[in-house]
Amino acid sequence: MPVTPLTPRDPEEIGGHRLTGRIGEGGQGQVYLGETADGDRVAIKLLHTGDPLREAAAARRVSPFCTARVLETGEQDGVPFVVSEYIDGPTLRAVVEEQGPRHGAGLYRLAVGTATALAAIHEAGVTHRDFKPANVLLGPDGPRVIDFGIARATDATLTATGSVLGSPSYMAPEQLAGDAVGPAADVFAWGATIAYAANGRPPYGQDTIPAVMHRIVTGEPDLGALPGQLRALVADCLAKDAARRPLSRDVLLRLLEHTEAPISAPDALALGRATAVAPDIADDRTTRWTTMRLPAPAGPRKRNRMLLACGGVAVTALVIATAFAIRESGSSSAKTLPLPSPAGAPTTTAPPSRIDTATQVEQAIAAKRTASFKAKGAMSQSDDQFNASGRLQYRPGASTDYDLTVHNPEGGESEDSPRRLTLKDNTAQFSDMQDEVYSVAPRTDYSGMDPHVYMAMETRWVSSPHNVLALLRSTRKLRHASDGGTVTYRGVTSAAALSRKPAVAPFYKNFGNSKTEFTIVLSNDHLPRRLDIVFTTGLDTGEHLRSVYSAEYTEWGRSGIIAP
């Protein structure tokens, strides 16, 4: 950030720190560059309004993941000040204004770094309240968020002339309405900031304040060229209803594509920080998040071998011919249409990649979160069976929560009576025994566990969305068919491969290296309708044993939240 000389009106020191220049001035106060007694540079904000010291003290608890740490708070001559880490770098706003919109790996790093910062801030119980491009610094070690925990509600109050003290282009509807402001408002501001970074303009414009406020409250955001999966995530964050926006931690986990096992807050923040500062992230994940994918035209592929045999000349000719064809067409309206299927027959097409399919399903589930379900399963040559029904609540990056009733129809007197219980994180609790809590954390030996608790764990392993996603990502050969109302995917993998997935490993380890066939039926909006799994285990005698498990899903987004 540019530093200007001190003026005669400026103090020489604040809180024992020598001032060396001016960094900037905002609605809250003047920001100075200072030096500690050890010669370290710090940013010192001398606040003109409010009494923010309690919030600033809370901000000192924020873990230093992609944030500028608050080092000290105090008062000088009755005026509060805050000392924070100095980040030597321009603001995101300045970079976009001078260099244009961000894209590719740089945009992805920015999204991950700022989401990591918000997750760290919210984890400490602090709300930023003024997240915007001017409060994101692009330092030598990646993006950093500044001024967290200091902005106050007075920054969003209307003056007598109808202007807003603050940054209305990045304010959530509830913030403009003067309602209580919490972490959800920061998530809205994050979405608006990422849209700005990708397009060079805020998603609700930046003309007159009344016009901007009207668009935020009643209009739809202009996401412009925001690409790939990032577009869908930002749209979720810009929901008018604060309750429909994802949590900042879920935003981070979606960006990191962490869905296979629970992860602690410190581990998630550390992973986000490492990703945000990585010097080179030219991988498939970056492409998925920052590239707008266009469907390939349908039609037969011809003469592949001849083309490859002709070497570089043929490849060059193909590229030139394609370029001319695109230029000559001048329009995206020309399309190749597939031949119609016979009446009443399902349409079979080349499936999208397994990663694309899993990602679409994951996004659809994350948007709905809750569902009603039925599940059952039986291990061959064993009394290990279960029938279950109830509700589930998907949590990205964490164990799925359940409110279910389960029993073993062949389990004898102690197991065949249905019992209702809830699974939350790594604990289970019976509805009729509220004073007892059972651990369902992964272990190597499940003998001695209450049979209904173990059946509930099996139900979670089989029917959890994490299992659906693990299966979709477990094979490179997904067969795909559509009947107009649903899409069916079939695949073959091994239990051994799935036993390396932490979220479902305990279940698949029971089947060794058994052949694992699965069928997943999705609605046209990518939500699971049915899951079937068949394990085939070969014996030395040449015989084969088959174990069958299934789950059915309904009422996505309508089954209700599972209370703690």
Catalytic residues: 130
What gap in Å lies between CA 230 and CA 111, rounded to an integer? 9
Token pair belonging to 424? 């939350």
Look at residues 532, 499, 492, 533 and name the one whose alpha carbon lies nearest to residue 515. Answer: 492
Q: What's the rounded Cα separation, in Å, for the pair 371 and 367? A: 12
d(CA 321, CA 338): 23
For residue 179, give Cα distances in angstroms to 170, 185, 242, 390.
Answer: 16, 11, 11, 36
Q: Which of 211, 156, 160 is nearest to 189 (CA)?
A: 156
* Helix extents (H) in 86-227: 92-99, 104-123, 173-176, 183-199, 209-218
Contact between 102 and 262 (Cβ < 8 Å): no
DSSP string for 477-538: --EEEE-SSEEEEEEEEEHHHHTTSTTTHHHHGGGTT-EEEEEEEEETTS-EEEEEEEEEEE
Q: Are 165 and 156 in contact (CB under 8 A)?
A: yes
Asked if 375 and 482 touch (Cβ cutoff 8 Å), the reply is no
- For the chain, the distance separating the N- and C-terminal CA atoms, rounded to the nearest angstrom, is 46
CA–CA separation, 507 vs 170, rounded Å?
46
Angle at 394 between CA 392 and CA 398, to 5 degrees: 125
CA atoms within 13 A on the CB side of 339: 5
Most distant CA pair in the chain, distance: 95
Q: Are strands 17-25 and 29-35 parallel, antiparallel or unpaired?
A: antiparallel
Phi, psi angle pair for 518, to nearest 5°: -140, 150
If 0-12 CB within 10 Å is exposed, 13-18 middle and 19+ buried, where does residue 319 land?
exposed
**Cα separation, 466 vs 431, whole angstroms:** 25
* Backbone phi and psi for residue 371, each to the nearest 5 degrees, phi listed first: -160, 160
Query: Is 547 exposed, middle or buried, given 0-12, 13-18 or 19+ CB atoms closer than 10 A?
Result: buried
Residue 349, sorted as left (phi over 0), alpha (psi -120 to 50) or beta, turns out to be: beta
Residue with tokens 């400490």: 124
